[in-house]
Structure formats: structure tokens, C-alpha cells
A and B are shown apart, each in its own frame.
Chain A
């Protein structure tokens, strides 16, 4: 479904991604794990069009994405929940959800999906008239995910959904990620919390300084010496 082949990305003179290749198949949860600065977020930004690869091929459902701008990539069915949530704090919860559906014209469908998101995240329903900036960290994460789902994506990119959240909330968020996946949305998940990520993923790729150093089945990776030492604390 999503295919990256030998992708190189630069930030000015910094070579952030040095020939990344991987794929995500329909219906999967794939996770990218790695330490800070390994290039995980850069990967997602490249897929969603915020960054342009200098070299390499990037395709989604056999369409070349390297020539498509970020707003059009949303239209093709990829939705990106960025690091730090980036919700519109000056707008209400329900306005945030409306913006998620910015490109959609089917009023009825939007209404239905909004209800669906409210059943997935009941807290958002309670707070739908509140300014998004007044939500707690966990609620903001839910809003960011709900907002992304409003575009009805086939592929959801999640960047560090557990960041800054209490363990109980992290668990809850990951349950919801599984639920989203089981209702048919393919997921590419970037996480520093490797244990959680590997526990729900089908497959995983390990990034180190802009390169993929390991890949494979999530359960198997979790068992390998390298991954346990480097990312699971022994």
C-alpha cells in the first residue's frame, strides 16, 4: 500500500534520512522505533508531504507521492497526527473535528463519522464546545487522532501518541489504536515507547541515525538481543 524506496531527506546540510526503504501493507499496524533523532518523525513528515525527499521513490497505492503537496496527500487517504498533537488550541473541539473533514463534501457522512469518533472518544463529546487548548494532554491526543480520522484515511500516521501521558492513558490510547486498526484503517506508528508499540504492531522497523538497521515481525523483534538491550531496557 505504502512503499518507500531508498529515500534521502535533508534538513539544510543535515542528512536526516539516508536511504530508507520500507513498506506498509493494507490492514497492518507497522511501527518505526528508534531513539531520539533517529529520523522517525522525519519519515512521517516525508510521507505526509511536509518534507520533500531529495532522492528515492515514495508511493501510495501505486501513485507517486513525491510530486504531491501535503494538502493533496490528505485527499489521497493519508492522515498524519503530528508529534506534539498540534491541535488548534484557539478553536473548539468540534471546530477542530470540522477542520479534520476540511476536504470532505458529504455532510451526512461527516455527521456520522463525528458520532463515531464521539463513541470512540466519549471525553471529546463531553467537551465538544470547549476550547481545544483547555483540554488535558490525553484529551488533546484523542482530539488530534479524532481530527485525523475525520478525513476518513486509509492510512493513519501516528507520531509519538504516548508522549507526555501517564501510563494508564498510554494503555488506553494504544487500545484505541488497535480498535481503529481493526475497523479497517492501516496504521504506521512512530514511538519511543518501543515495548508498547511492538506489543500492538504486526511488523516493525528499527531506525538508527537515518538508516533502518533491523526489521521484521514485531513479536520476533521483541525477542532479539539487540532490540531488548537498546530499546526495551534489557
Chain B
């Protein structure tokens, strides 16, 4: 029986690490969706830009992890704001589908623009951290990187939760996502608040990108596609537009994947994640933490 417990604990560790990364990306999806009801398909690619920035900082500039992470976050935040202003803001009053197609276009632009500028070649992250593997009991192992991922995620999420709950800008974000017109009657600048939301979401994605880089070591210009899609699935799973939902969904996603891989079905792990999403949506169409709102006539 010991080996079963070991197995479960091991997969929990792997799943929480992976899930933390999904959760960080999912937060950006959910915040942007909450405020302008747009599935920002380019979000995964912003994560890729963050990963490359982190790679550049650690490899070329020889910076340590923390400054690299900060630079990546700030740069991606700026990129997120620019994308919103150029591509999404003009479509605020157009159909949601037009905005969705624009987001898909932006995603293609970043992916293939990335290949043009960065070459399709895979880059290797330097060993930013000691490659220590801890082996506390039995067969269970975890890496130094696991601790870094989990710690970084917990800190960033606490910061986010504090910002949204207690700060002026956080209150403005919640007000704008609930009712833009009423928010502007409070004196809130709706456009700036949307920009801030993109900035925060993009910086979290960048953090996820850097963490992927230091944990899995390799990055490439198309690395944002699958994790981006899965993070979006995580956001919907938890209840899109709901910040704790994205955290929960991300973790659930990571755990599903690691357990399915762990029992030897790694080629089916994406299918399992999608399957669970569909079951959840059919049973509870607004996601795990979503409120069921009846459509008004």
C-alpha cells in the first residue's frame, strides 16, 4: 500500500507544480474575460514573450532569477496594454465574434512573428537554480524548481488577491467588470482600468513563462499554444471571470494531467482534461465556482 500512497503524493507534487503554472496563465484569461468578455487567445503567446524575455535576461544579461522575472513581467505587461489599445479597443462596440477573430489574429501574429524574429529554434534556459532533487521519504522526489514554482505562484496570487480586494484600482476593476457605465459615473476611467487589467494579466502570464523556462529548460516560439489553450480550459473549468475559479481550475487541470500521465496514459492526458471540462460544463454550465444566472428575456 505504501507505494500507492507514494504514487499519489508524487503526482500531487507534480500536479500542483504544473497546476500553479496553468493557474497563473488562467488568471489573465479570466480577468480579461471578466472585464471585456473577450477570450484573449493571444494570452498564451504573451506567456511565450515573457519566457523569451526571461531567457534573454538570464542567458545574455546573466541576471539572476528575480530580476529576470520582474523584467519579463514588466515588459509583457506593457505588451499586453499595447495589444489591447491597438487591436481590441477599436472593437469594443463590435460583435464579440469580431473581437474573438482579432484575438486569434493577434495570436498568429505573435507566434509567427516570434518565429521570424527569434527563429523556430528551441532555446535552452541556463540552470538558474541548483538542480537539487529532494527525496524525503520512499520513492517521493521533488525538485528545487517545484518549490520555486509553488512559492512564486503563492506570492503572486496573494498580491493579486490583495490588489483586487482592497486597493483603489482593484475596486475599479471589479466595478468596471460589473457595469462599465455605472463605473464611469463614479469617476472611474474605464479605458485605463481595462489597460491595467491587461497589464496585470499579462505580467502573470510572463511569470508563468519564466517558470516554465526554468522548470522545463526549453522554450520555443510556439510554446504558448497548448499551455495557453489548457489554461483557458482551466479558467472555464473554475468559472470564467472569477479569480478564485482560475486558481482552482488551474490546479485541477495540473492534477488531472499528472495523474493521467502517472498511470501511464500520458498521450491521453489532454483528452482527459477536455473530457472533464465538458462533463463539468454539462452538469454546471458556468464552471465549478460560477453562479448560475438565468438569461433575461
Contact = CB atoms under 8 A, between A and B. Distances in A.
Given A82-B181, A86-B182, A71 B174 contact: no
Nearest to B168: A102
B196 to A, nearest CB: 14
Nearest to B179: A86
A67 interface: no
B136 interface: no
Contacts of A48: 185
B294 to A, nearest CB: 15
Contacts of A50: 181, 184-185
B140 interface: no
Nearest to A45: B181
Contact of A70 (B172, B174, B175, B184): B184
Interface string A42-68: 000000111000000000000000000
Contacts of A91: 171, 174-175, 178
A90 B35 CA distance: 14
A74 B183 CA distance: 11
B185 A90 contact: no
Contacts of A146: none
Interface in B180-208: 181-190
A89 interface: yes
Interface in A65-95: 69-72, 74-75, 79-80, 82, 86-91, 95
B254 to A, nearest CB: 28
A185 B185 CA distance: 18
Contact of B174 (A49, A88, A151): A88
A95 B167 CA distance: 11
A90 B170 CA distance: 13
Interface residues on A, range: 20 to 34
B171 A98 contact: yes
A98 B185 CA distance: 13
A148 B188 CA distance: 13
B178 A99 contact: no
A165 interface: no
Contacts of A161: none
A98 B186 CA distance: 10
Given A98-B171, A99-B171, A102-B172, A90 B178 contact: yes
A138 interface: no
A114 to B, nearest CB: 15
A7 B168 CA distance: 36
Contacts of B188: 71, 99, 102
A147 to B, nearest CB: 8
Interface string A103-115: 1000000000000
Nearest to B177: A90
Nearest to A72: B187
A210 interface: no
B186 A151 contact: yes
Given A99-B171, A102-B168, A71 B189 contact: yes
Given A95-B171, A98-B171, A71 B184 contact: yes
Interface in A201-222: none
Nearest to B189: A71
Given A95-B171, A99-B171, A102-B172, A88 B179 contact: yes
B187 A103 contact: yes
Contacts of A75: 187
B98 to A, nearest CB: 19
Contacts of A74: 185-187
Contact of A88 (B178, B187, B189): B178
A100 interface: yes
Interface of B: 168, 171-172, 174-175, 178-179, 181-190
Task: State the 7 A-B residue pairs at the shortest beta-carbon distance, nearest first.
Answer: A74-B187, A86-B182, A103-B187, A70-B184, A71-B187, A102-B186, A99-B186
11 contacts: A69-B189, A70-B184, A71-B184, A71-B189, A71-B190, A74-B185, A88-B179, A90-B174, A100-B186, A102-B171, A103-B186
Given A72-B187, A87-B182, 4 more contacts: A50-B181, A91-B171, A102-B186, A151-B187
